[in-house]
Amino acid sequence: MAEAVVKGAKEGGAEVRLRRVAELAPEKVIRQQDAWREHYEATLPLVAVVTLDDLKWADGFAFGTPIRFGLPPAQLKEFIDQTGPLWVHGQLANNVATPFTSSQNAHGGQESTLLALNNVSYHWGCLIVPPATPTRSLRRPAAIPTARRTQREQATRSAQMPLPRRTPRVPPRPIRCGWSRRWDGPQNHEMER
């Protein structure tokens, strides 16, 4: 995805630097996970680690990230946390920023991850350019598994589910503070304990 962003920016006449954040995980952990290891080994020699000088140089930022529980991963957050000196001096303000992300499943936290990245851009004073959805197929809502069940399957499933216990109605307790139930203004008596 990052390479597609680079290609589009270059076609638009921009000068572009493709960078990655430093990896924080131990190599032993990376090597135990095939997809992570393959990506790490493929990008390590080709893509330089981002520095604060790269942010100073740029007029805009396109932050791409995988998703970790609806948030950007720690590696990106750790880099963002280093940008305080640039932010304090307004060196990130009025730049254009856009986020992009991807996950393995349809409801993997893409929206919350994009919003988290936008929060950073808001604090920096950037102008947010939302990521576009160019094709109709990408805008199609994902299927909800329960919608695929037939009425009979749904009825059977509902019959098998335990019903919640009814909570007995508890009469309201008096409010124990210096205010009455109706607004009569503050009461000048001691609160009950």
CB atoms within 10 A of CB 61: 20
What span, in angstroms and rounded, lies between the C-alpha atoms of 108 and 117?
A: 16
Please check whether residue 153 lies inside any domain of the structure. Answer: no
Please check whether residue 100 lies inside any domain of the structure. Answer: yes
- Report the half-sphere exposure of 49 (CA within 13 A, side-chain side): 10
96 three-state secondary structure: strand
- Assign 190 a pLDDT band (cuts: 50, 70, 90): low
Strand 127-128's sheet: what is its strand order? 60-65, 96-101, 127-128
Give the count of domains, the chain: 1
Residue 24 identity: L
The stretch 121-139 carries a mean pLDDT of 75
Let me know how long the chain is. 193
**In this structure, which long-range contacts are made by residues 121-124, counting pairs with CB atoms below 8 Å and at least 24 apart in sequence?**
121/61, 121/97, 123/87, 124/83, 124/87, 124/92, 124/93, 124/95, 124/97
pLDDT at 78: 96
Nearest CA to 2 out of 71, 65, 51 is that of 65
Whether the pTM exceeds 0.85: the reply is no
Range of the domain at 75: 2-9+22-132
pLDDT digits (tens, 9 = 90+) for 35-90: 889 988 988 889 999 999 999 999 999 999 988 888 999 999 999 999 999 999 99
**What percentage of the chain exceeds 90 in pLDDT?**
45
CATH classification of the domain holding 46: 3.40.50.360
Query: Which residues partner with 98 through β-bridges?
Result: 62
Output 92 or 153, whichever has higher pLDDT. 92
Please check whether residue 181 lies inside any domain of the structure. Answer: no
Please check whether residue 63 lies inside any domain of the structure. Answer: yes
Structure tokens at 141: 């809502």
- Assign 106 a pLDDT band (cuts: 50, 70, 90): confident
Structure tokens at 6: 């680079």
Please check whether residue 110 lies inside any domain of the structure. Answer: yes
pLDDT at 134: 55
Please check whether residue 68 lies inside any domain of the structure. Answer: yes
Please check whether residue 115 lies inside any domain of the structure. Answer: yes
Please check whether residue 174 lies inside any domain of the structure. Answer: no
pLDDT at 167: 47
